[in-house]
Structures are given as structure tokens and as C-alpha cells.
A and B are shown apart, each in its own frame.
Chain A
Amino acid sequence: MDTIVASASVIAAALAVGLAAIGPGIGQGNASGQAVAGIARQPEAEGKIRGTLLLTLAFMESLTIYGLVISLVLLFANPFS
């Protein structure tokens, strides 16, 4: 394999995960904060809020996972090698 391609792939893989983590990080922080505020305001709804929160967090998490999949492809199944 080309050294250039290899190094570019490694950098791209790192960037893919790193950049993909930014948005979901902000979003998860927002969602968790709002959920805590909601629980503080209405403690009896805690169970429902927690369930919904976990589900939403999983959805946001999957955005990072897409980036991770891309980086895994670049590392382990590079189409340009």
C-alpha cells in the first residue's frame, strides 16, 4: 500500500471519530441537562424521563458510531489499499 494512502487513512480515521463525537457530545449534554431539570421539577416522572433519555442518548450515540464505522473501514477494510 501507498504510504501516503496509509497515513491519510489513519488521519482520516482519527478525524472521523473525533469530529463525529463533537455533535453528539453537545446533544447528549443538552438532553441530560434538560432531563435532570425535568426530574427536579417533577420528581414523580423520573422513570419515564429516564427511559426516554436513555433511548435518545442511544440515538445520539449512534451518530458517533457511524463515524467510528467509517474509521474502522479506513483502518481495517480500506478500499484504497
Chain B
Amino acid sequence: MEMINALNVLNSFSLAEIEVGNHFYWEIGNLKIHGQVFLTSWFVIAILILASLAAIRNVQIQKAPSGIQNFMEFVLESLRDLARAQLGEKEYRPWLPFIGTLFLFIFVSNWSGALIPWKIIEIPNSELAAPTNDINTTVALALLTSIAYFYAGFSKKGLGYFANYIEPIPILLPIKILEDFTKPLSLSFRLFGNILADELVVAVLVFLVPLFVPLPLMALGLFTSAIQALVFATLAGAYIHEAIEGYDEEHE
């Protein structure tokens, strides 16, 4: 960490601070956890749950929905389209909660990081940011995705799932095994890198020119965050579909 002090003078300004890698540690037993990540993720979860509760407070079926119910139904329709596009009409229903929640959680996290001035709230030793700004979160989500597609494959085909590894030609076996590691790696790094890069770019620009100039980049950041959430959910769906379908059926 002396690197930061050695390399830049950013921390000597109070207007905009760039902190990477400092955490607000909580200790539970002898486990260390990143408190700032949990604080913001609870906020995100609270938003999602409150919106859902408001949407289902009195569900109207026979009339046209209005207000928050309408909005959440629109969200749900989009999620269904997303999952259906990847998994197909027959299979998407049981996986809708997983893929949909991935999208919602990442999307709301990213946008909360971009839209809410977390940095105003002071916490010791670190600063609040989007939960997806922390590698732990993204790796957790990516590993869940891995588990999800293994679970999908095994529950659908049992041990026959391993046939997927040697299906087209057995020579691809090492690559297929390698893929199982690169999938979560690329998923998590893509999300983490994009969000961190957005926040860093905005922070650097705010540090250089505090007014107005960072606005276009913030808008770009919003756009990128939304796309990244979409990409994460789409890829999760694609991986699960790959595990369910197998080589033969895919090419029929």
C-alpha cells in the first residue's frame, strides 16, 4: 500500500479520494469480512424487497396494472424474455429466479454505485461503493453460477453429464475442463473490472475537473453497468443451457 502514496498525490486532496483496496473490516469470531460491501448490499437487497412487496401488495389481475405493479411486471417480463432467449421456452421457468435475481442484484448494485453518492457517508478506513465493486461479491456470484450449471447438468442427466466433456471429440477434454475454471474467472473479473474501472475513471475525472466534465462518463458508466448486468445474466443462462442441452440436441 505504500505504492499509492509513492505513486500519486491523490490522497492528499480531500475533494476526491481514490481508495482501492482499503476495507472497513468487521470481525465475526475470527473471520474478517468487508463491512462496506455488506452495508451497500443490504441497501440493494432492501430496495429489491421493498419494490417487490409494494408490487404485490394488492395484485390486480383483471384490470390493467398501474404504478409499481406495472413497473415490476415490466421488469419480470423482461427477465422472462432474457431467460427464455437463453434457455428456451420449456426450461426457463425453474431457472428464472436465479437468472432474474442475478440480473436484478447486479443491476441495482451497479446503479446504486453510480447514482448514489455513497462517498458522502463516512465510514472508517474505507468508503462505500457498489457491492459489485468488491472482488468477493463478483467471485461469489460467479461461483454460484458455476454451481448452478453443474447442478443443472447433474439434475438433468445424472452422471451422464460428464459425457458433455468428451461429446464432440474427446481431444477437447482438457479445454472443456479448463473452461470450467475460466468461466467463473472471466465472469467475475469482467464484472469487477468494469465496475471498478467506471468508478475509478469517474473518480479520476472528478479529481481533475470537479464540475460537469465527468457527467458524460457517468452516463457511460450507467450504460456499461446495465450492460454488464445483462451480460452476466445472459452468460449464466447460456452456461446453464449448455449444461442442460448437450451436444447432440443442440445440433438437431
A and B touch in the complex (CB under 8 A): yes
A1 to B193, CA, bound (A): 26
Q: From A22-30, A32-40, A63-71, give the one contacting chain B.
A: A63-71
A12 interfacial by beta-carbon distance below 8 Å: no
A31 interfacial by beta-carbon distance below 8 Å: no
A57 to B186, CA, bound (A): 15
Q: Is the Cβ of A78 less than 8 Å from the Cβ of B227?
A: no
- B192 contacts across to A, CB distance below 8 A: 69
Q: A55-B234, A62-B186 are in contact. Are A76 and B227 (CB under 8 A)?
A: no
Q: From B2-10, B112-120, B168-176, B206-214, give the one contacting chain A.
A: B2-10
B40 interfacial by beta-carbon distance below 8 Å: no
A46 to B230, CA, bound (A): 19
A38 to B215, CA, bound (A): 32
- B227 contacts across to A, CB distance below 8 A: 54-55, 57-58
Q: Is the Cβ of A72 less than 8 Å from the Cβ of B20?
A: yes
Question: B234's closest neighbor in chain A, by CB?
Answer: A55
A49 interfacial by beta-carbon distance below 8 Å: no
Which of B3, B190, B200, B234 interacts with A78 by CB under 8 Å?
B3
A4 interfacial by beta-carbon distance below 8 Å: no
B194 interfacial by beta-carbon distance below 8 Å: yes
3-22 of chain A: CB within 8 A of chain B: 6, 9-10
Q: A6-B6, A10-B7, A81-B3 are in contact. Are A59 and B193 (CB under 8 A)?
A: no
B189 interfacial by beta-carbon distance below 8 Å: yes
Question: A56's closest neighbor in chain B, by CB?
Answer: B231
Q: Is the Cβ of B194 less than 8 Å from the Cβ of A6?
A: no
Closest chain A CB from B12 CB (angstroms): 17
Q: Is the Cβ of A68 less than 8 Å from the Cβ of B231?
A: no
Q: Is the Cβ of A65 less than 8 Å from the Cβ of B234?
A: no
A10 to B190, CA, bound (A): 22
A76 to B20, CA, bound (A): 7
Q: Is the Cβ of B193 less than 8 Å from the Cβ of A65?
A: yes
A residues in contact (CB < 8 Å) with B: 1, 6, 9-10, 54-55, 57-59, 61-62, 65-66, 68-69, 72, 75-78, 81
Sample (5) of A-B pairs whose CB atoms are under 8 Å apart: A58-B224, A58-B228, A61-B224, A68-B193, A81-B2
Given contacts A62-B186, A69-B193, 6 further A-B contacts (CB under 8 A): A55-B231, A62-B194, A65-B197, A66-B190, A75-B7, A77-B21
B residues in contact (CB < 8 Å) with A: 1-4, 6-7, 20-21, 186, 189-190, 192-194, 196-197, 200, 224, 227-228, 230-231, 234
